[in-house]
Structure 1
């Protein structure tokens, strides 16, 4: 019975009778309409939620989920913002943290980081910077000496949460200020004339931590798409290290495999 109910609801969504964002009838109403008990309804809805067709907000109800947005990473653009603008979509970015890290400094980071910003340990003596917290990773710019600028920011696509993001760039190439109105890499180009392009990309999956869940409007533990990578200049030098924790139900990444 639950499979029949699932199939019927899926068909109504597929044929457009129910659109993204539309609420589904309450569990009691569905149970009554289909002549089943609420456990059968819950199993059907849980399976639809598992495959990303339905999203359920506890205490509120179930809704038709928005379908994933395809992001082509081989489209010649350097950032999600430019890629989505090319497709007529809007991207909004909120910078929630900016920090300068000086590899030559032995001073410890402030004991009270800005709200929403995990503490960052002091850089190592070998010039590597090591980031703590949900973006825990290590990056190095071997062709650039001196300080590094780190940014944390949130992105929305068409006003729906997309990612909790991190970027590190050499301070010498950082714009004087960056407020998220343009991509960080467009701001770098405007400020210093550097041509930035996508370089390496690595994808994996991670569970949403409490901060992710709050910003991305998902439950703690929800699978997220983790993207790590680098961007380079026209000489092939790494000029950016990026980490994005992306809502897996919102994003679909695509690229053409070179022959």
Structure 2
């Protein structure tokens, strides 16, 4: 049987396609997933390229659309492709490596040094007294008693959504009218002369809730990287609690292990 070539929008080069043949021990959708994944890994498709439509893929591989949909959904869960409802599926961008031992207090400064464009939109800024915030956690700063400022904001890196973020800092150290133009910690330093350093970091995985999905342009349930931590000043005093819900397909964190 001759190979098929998928009809698709300009830009994506899928190449010749062999119809899927059933083999023992491997479901048809898994074979399809493996073939598409191999083409992406082999460079036939680049980040941002549009994949052919479900109908075109089904016709070329001689499978039904449900099989195509399952294969693409699994690739999306793995962060290999991203799907925009009503638009189509696209090859996902590769994760950006972010070093958390580079001496910077914020991702904004870290990424800017690497030549990446970072922008932030502040969704909410509120003064909380007593110091129990909307997340239900107590943001306690023993060395800075009193009210706490809480911020919720969205970060984009290279014009792709990166994280839904939260930070709590002592109100005494809060910069006036922080608008996200620079990092919160750079603004704290400029206003109060405090040098902010990364302290502890804890990582885990969580599924995207509906709000996450809307802001981060992913499907509900998509794996996110949950980062929690604190920042301190040069005296070792805690000056910030942070929570970032980060797109798992966008971020790769790295740290050098001391010998």
- The aligned counterpart of 1:107 is none
- The aligned counterpart of 1:98 is 125
Measured in 2, the distance between the counterparts of 1:51 and 1:221 equals 12
Measured in 1, the distance between the counterparts of 2:202 and 2:150 equals 20
Measured in 2, the distance between the counterparts of 1:154 and 1:161 equals 8
Q: Does 1:231 align with 2:258?
A: no
Measured in 2, the distance between the counterparts of 1:165 and 1:245 equals 6
- The aligned counterpart of 2:42 is 15
CA deviation digits over 1:165-192, x for unaligned, max 9? 1111111111122110100000111111
- The aligned counterpart of 2:133 is 131
Q: Does 1:48 align with 2:75?
A: yes
Distance apart, 1:138 and its partner CA: 2.3
Provide structure 1 residue ranges, at least 5 long, that are not aligned to the other structure. 103-122, 124-128
Any idea what SS the aligned residue of 2:138 has?
strand
Q: Does 1:181 align with 2:186?
A: no
Any idea what SS the aligned residue of 1:138 has?
coil
Ranges of 4+ aligned residues in structure 1 off by more than 6 Å: none
Distance apart, 1:201 and its partner CA: 0.7
Distance apart, 1:52 and its partner CA: 1.3
CA deviation digits over 1:229-250, x for unaligned, max 9? 1000000000111111111111
Distance apart, 1:28 and its partner CA: 1.7
Alignment of 1:44-123 (within 5 A): 44-102=71-129, 123=130
Greater alpha carbon shift after TM alignment, 92-101 vs 14-23: 14-23
Provide structure 2 residue ranges, at least 5 long, that are not aligned to the other structure. 1-19, 21-27
- The Cα RMSD (Å) is 1.6
Q: Does 1:152 align with 2:152?
A: yes
Distance apart, 1:60 and its partner CA: 2.4
Normalised by the size of structure 1, how large is the TM-score? Answer: 0.84
> Is 2:163–2:246's contact at 8 Å kept on the other side of the alignment?
yes
Q: 2:52 aligns with which of 19, 22, 25?
A: 25
Distance apart, 1:210 and its partner CA: 2.0
Normalised by the size of structure 2, how large is the TM-score? Answer: 0.84
Any idea what SS the aligned residue of 1:149 has?
strand
Distance apart, 1:161 and its partner CA: 0.7
